[in-house]
Chains A and B, each alone.
Chain A
Amino acid sequence: MAEKPRLKLPKQAKKGDVIEIKTLMPHIMESGQRKDKDGKIIPRKIINKFTAEFNGKPVFSANLEPAIAANPYLQFSAKVEESGTFKFSWTDDDGTVITAEEKITVA
């Protein structure tokens, strides 16, 4: 279930600007607390890690627990000094890693 993440960040910025980045990953975030009709616990399946890099350098990352709501949404900032590429990754409990990239022009 390789769903496509949604990203929102500016395409352009001035050198030294602190920009806002919003990300949303469609995912059930099954907490491992819920039970099915037969009373069996539905196994946990969540996105447990998110990372954001800019030109290969870490900007922001998060370790997520089952207390994060479905379709994990994260908003954070980044200080940009040069043009380049943001790379985002989401790691699923099953080991799947979903990645996305977005370019920004800094003048």
Chain B
Amino acid sequence: MRQLSRRAALAFGAGGAAFTFLGWDQGAFAAAKEAADAIAKFTGGKTAAKAKVSIELPEIAENGNTVPLAVSVDAPMTADNYVSEVLVVAEGNPNPGVATFHFSPLSGKAEASTRIRLATTQNIVVVAKTSKGEFFTGQKLVKVTIGGCGG
């Protein structure tokens, strides 16, 4: 009886340790790294200045399945100086990519709105590229009550 209980205790202890080890959640960390990689690819390794980009998102999104997002970049949008591309990345989604918007001088304004899915509370990062090869960035935190991925 004594033997058994000691064995049981050992087994339980080992099982518990394994569970802790496997359960260590690296998901969020991996997603943030993927997001950083996507941004680095977009900018070609250049540093984006924290300016000119504004992001409109609810502070708290009750339903992660459809979260309104509006992005705008302060730019003249003339033939020789306009925002050509805007990358939107979600740091905490299973796939960080959200969308890439392509603008032209005919766009008039570097502004776009859409509705996005968010798995969890996370940062949304926006990087804009101008026709002159400059990069600007901004980010915003959204709290998500019910996630919009998987199921």
Contacts and interface: CB of A to CB of B under 8 A. Distances in A.
A79 B108 contact: yes
Given A18-B109, A69-B117, A76-B112, A57 B149 contact: no
B5 interface: no
Contacts of A72: 114-115
B105 A60 contact: no
A78 B101 contact: no
B100 interface: yes
Contact of B104 (A31, A59, A62, A66): A59
A83 interface: no
A54 B106 CA distance: 8
B104 A60 contact: yes
Nearest to A58: B104
Looking at chain A's contact residues, is the secondary structure mostly helix, strand, loop, or mixed?
strand
A2 interface: no
Interface stretch (B10-18, B90-98, B126-134, B136-144): B90-98
A75 B102 contact: no
A40 B13 CA distance: 34
A75 B56 CA distance: 13
A31 B100 CA distance: 17
A68 B113 CA distance: 11
Nearest to A16: B108
B96 to A, nearest CB: 8
Contact of A33 (B94, B98, B102): B94
Given A63-B99, A67-B97, A68-B99, A57 B117 contact: no
17 contacts: A18-B109, A33-B149, A34-B150, A57-B104, A64-B99, A67-B90, A67-B97, A67-B116, A67-B117, A68-B114, A69-B67, A69-B114, A74-B112, A77-B108, A78-B108, A79-B107, A79-B108
Interface of A: 18-19, 31, 33-35, 54, 57-70, 72-79
Interface of B: 65-67, 70, 77, 90, 93-95, 97-109, 111-118, 148-151
